[in-house]
A = this chain, B = another copy of it.
């Protein structure tokens, strides 16, 4: 997760907005979007609900801000992916970079994964889902077999799964293991 930065670098803006996002992400990921009330966010920050509404016009606006960075990063990643050749080695480079960039996004991805019902009603949920579908489609050959389609989906979701299913393993060891398993899944895919 992101580090604390004890003395916030309050440049031109009120750092409160950033602190709201940070606390909101922690609580959303831990207790879920619906079950986290604005009261709880405000209390942890030492302010009142009304203060939140000075910085964000709604609860949904808060989670939108939380997702903003990841969504942009995914856009860049997908755009880059589309420029890559449809070869086996290229796919593996893509996988490696995906595992790499998933490190910083694990809280947001967990939030997205575990809050299906909420994500279906939020704009960020739709945006996130659109990106994942786009990524899967980009990686999947035109006339891929059903097992191949499955391998690609499993490979991508395995990255997220492993992040919060095996937290007792050191990060570097886990990363190496993810890459290994994802590679052997993609290795079976025929890239025509």
Which residues in A have some Cβ–Cβ distance to B below 8 Å? 31-35, 113-118, 121, 145-147, 149-151, 153-154, 157-158, 161-162, 165-166, 169, 173-174, 176-178, 180-181, 184-185, 188
Contact = CB atoms under 8 A, between A and B. Distances in A.
Contact of A150 (B114, B121, B181): B181
Nearest to A151: B181
The secondary-structure label for the interface of chain A is helix
A35 B34 contact: yes
Given A31-B117, A146-B173, 12 more contacts: A33-B117, A115-B116, A145-B177, A146-B166, A146-B176, A147-B177, A147-B180, A147-B181, A149-B166, A150-B166, A150-B177, A153-B161
28 contacts: A31-B117, A32-B116, A32-B117, A32-B118, A34-B34, A34-B35, A35-B117, A35-B121, A113-B116, A114-B117, A115-B117, A145-B177, A146-B166, A146-B169, A146-B174, A146-B177, A147-B180, A149-B177, A151-B181, A153-B161, A153-B162, A154-B158, A154-B181, A157-B157, A157-B158, A157-B161, A158-B158, A184-B188
